[in-house]
Amino acid sequence: MEEGSCSSKLSAFLAFLLEGKKQMGLTVGLVYNLGKYDPPEDGEPPDVNAELDSETTVMAVADALRQAGHDVAFVEADETALDALRAHHPDICFNIAEGLRGDSRESQLPAVMELLGIPYTGSNVLSLAMALDKPMAKRVFTYHRVPTPKFEVYEIGQPVHKRSFKFPLFVKPAREGSSKGISPASMVANLHELRRQVEIMHEEYHQAALVEEFLPGREFTVGILGNQNHHFFPITEINFAPCPEDHHAIYSYQFKKEWDGEEYYFLPAPLSTDERARLCKLALAAFKAMNCYDIGRVDIRLDSEGQPHVMEINPLPGLAPGFSDLPRMADAEGMGYHGLINNILGAALDRYGMLDLRVASRTA
């Protein structure tokens, strides 16, 4: 499949990887942060650990890898990870670690893996750090002429000043995912509401507030797999119609946690071939601008004139089976969860020139 084209069929590249998966036999380190280890403490918001993975997700990824013939070494991405990685000597790591703390937390384990010379799936240290820092990602998008809403950043302690663009605006934490800190109140209609939301970002989420132009249109998320012959999953559109009216068509923390029925999504999104191609092209431009590898999900929304803008890129997208966007997309096109996990691994093996290792391990 050509770059930017949007056929939902697997490319020859992916079919090759799927065909080969049964013959591999590598030791794959599965690097993760389990949510249960870090419950919210007193005074912390309820979504403080929203990004961390459940045991179900970790076991589902492990199961998919094992079914493809690999041995799985479990590595909790905390202070014990360095020793665990050295002890297990994995051939490659499957990285789903969100990191426990710090502004560049998603990059910490990738940096350790690079230090130890262990290949890993997904984007590298710099891309993960930049994507987590939404203002930084938006600066990169702007440089590469990838449309993204105009924005301002209010660091902790910085007062809200007169702005150069108009209400309504949207306020979110500068460095979060999984809709942490995002609710209907994130859309602000006046200076009073803006100040209140910025204060919440500073005081409850202990970080800078990102203030953006509000995009009132349809919302899509586009999944990308691979590195040269990029594969696009069927696009998901969020269906806000069944939500309470006062929810303001926001894909909030509450939405992601509570409203996971099929009626809340259009999959595939009802789009013309041209519209779909345009969204895929935009998503790929964001993916390339950030130098992402193997897998990613790009969140896009339309402005009042129907023009698409990139809200953010997720180089470490959620992989909860049957629940997160990407596994739903993979199910919808018949790739399935096991296919998704092993295609991510396959893309990384190909990128590292390790497909030969698969052949060697088969003939050994």
Ligand X SMILES: Nc1ncnc2c1ncn2[C@@H]1O[C@H](COP(=O)(O)OP(=O)(O)OP(=O)(O)O)[C@@H](O)[C@H]1O
Contact positions vs ligand X (CB under 6 A): 149, 170, 172, 176-180, 182, 212, 214-215, 219, 250-251, 299, 301, 311-312, 314
Candidates 92-100, 146-154, 297-305, 351-359 — which segment interacts with Mg ion by CB under 5 A? 297-305
DSSP for 255-267, written as a single string: HHHH--SGGGEES
Residue 259 Cβ vs ligand X, minimum distance, rounded to whole Å: 13
Residue 314 Cβ vs ligand X, minimum distance, rounded to whole Å: 5
Closest to ligand X by CB, 241 or 364: 241
Closest to ligand X by CB, 215 or 271: 215
Residue 32 Cβ vs ligand X, minimum distance, rounded to whole Å: 17
Closest to ligand X by CB, 78 or 212: 212
Residue 312 Cβ vs Mg ion, minimum distance, rounded to whole Å: 5
Closest to ligand X by CB, 93 or 132: 132
Closest to Mg ion by CB, 302 or 357: 302
The owner of tokens 């389990």 is 34
Closest to ligand X by CB, 85 or 182: 182
Residue 86 Cβ vs ligand X, minimum distance, rounded to whole Å: 31
180 binds, among Mg ion, ligand X, none (CB under 5 to 8 A by kind): ligand X
233 binds, among ligand X, Mg ion, none (CB under 5 to 8 A by kind): none
212 binds, among ligand X, Mg ion, none (CB under 5 to 8 A by kind): ligand X
Closest to Mg ion by CB, 47 or 78: 47
219 binds Mg ion (CB under 5 A): no
Distance separating alpha carbons of residues 23 and 346, to the nearest angstrom: 12
The owner of tokens 């969100």 is 98
Residue 325 Cβ vs Mg ion, minimum distance, rounded to whole Å: 9
**86: number of Cβ within 10 Å:** 11
Closest to ligand X by CB, 18 or 160: 160
Candidates 135-143, 292-300, 302-310, 346-354 — which segment interacts with Mg ion by CB under 5 A? 292-300
The owner of tokens 């209400």 is 167
Contacts for 47 with CB less than 8 Å, ≥ 6 apart: 178, 179, 180, 181, 253
Residue 85 Cβ vs ligand X, minimum distance, rounded to whole Å: 26
**Residues 293, 304 contacting (CB under 8 angstroms):** no
Report the phi/psi class of residue 229: left, alpha or beta, with left for phi > 0 and alpha for psi in -120 to 50.
Answer: beta
The amino acid sitting at 311 is M
Cis before residue 234, ω within 30 degrees of 0? Answer: no
Measuring CA to CA, which residue among 259, 240, 241, 249 is closest to residue 214?
249
Residue 313 Cβ vs Mg ion, minimum distance, rounded to whole Å: 9
Phi, psi of 144 (to 5 degrees): -90, 10
299 binds Mg ion (CB under 5 A): yes
Number of residues in contact with Mg ion under rule CB under 5 A:
1
- Tokens representing residue 86 in the block: 């050295």
Neighbour-count burial of 143, counting CB atoms closer than 10 A to its CB (0-12 exposed, 13-18 middle, 19+ buried): exposed
3 state DSSP class of 26: coil
Contacts for 118 with CB less than 8 Å, ≥ 6 apart: 29, 85, 90, 92, 93
Distance separating alpha carbons of residues 165 and 172, to the nearest angstrom: 17
Contacts with Mg ion by CB under 5 A lie at: 299
